[in-house]
Amino acid sequence: EPEVTQTPSHQVTQMGQEVILRCVPISNHLYFYWYRQILGQKVEFLVSFYNNEISEKSEIFDDQFSVERPDGSNFTLKIRSTKLEDSAMYFCASSIAGTAYEQYFGPGTRLTVT
């Protein structure tokens, strides 16, 4: 069964460093998403991406964040200058169509900022 994959599974970085989180969505899906979950808190939407551009973004997704689909398979989330409060699980998700809504999540990347 096709699934969303994410790398790395765990990333430790120092405050102020740049990190790139990588995702490979399900191959026939067209919509891609990033969510995050701070330990013990709700899953929060960050950004959605369709047709090589951002469709929606939340207030969390400020200028420190960016997304990119550098090739036909990868979807990346970059945090330019990490803060302690960026420590969280970051989940990539994809869906076959926006109106179908069913979003399938990858296993996540645990980001620890020290």
Partner 1 sequence: QKEVEQNSGPLSVPEGAIASLNCTYSDRGSQSFFWYRQYSGKSPELIMFIYSNGDKEDGRFTAQLNKASQYVSLLIRDSQPSDSATYLCAVPISSGSARQLTFGSGTQLTVLP
Residues at the site binding partner 1, with contacts judged by CB under 8 A: 31, 33, 35, 41-45, 48-50, 55-56, 58, 89, 91, 95, 98-99, 101-108
The nearer residue to partner 1, 46 or 113, going by C-beta atoms, is 46
Q: How far is the CB of 111 from partner 1 (least distance, A)?
A: 14
Is-contact 88 36, C-beta < 8 A? yes
CB of 98 to partner 1, least distance (A): 4
Closest contact distance (angstroms) between CB of 16 and partner 1 is 27
Tokens of residue 68, six digits? 């990119």
Taking the least distance from each CB to partner 1, the nearer of 28 and 41 is 41
Q: Which helix (H) or strand (E) holds 57?
A: strand 53-57
Cβ-based neighbours of 42, under 8 Å, separated by 6 or more: none
Residue type, 9: S
Report, in Å, the least distance between residue 97 CB and partner 1: 9
Instruction: Name the pairing type of β-strands 5-7 and 19-24.
Output: antiparallel
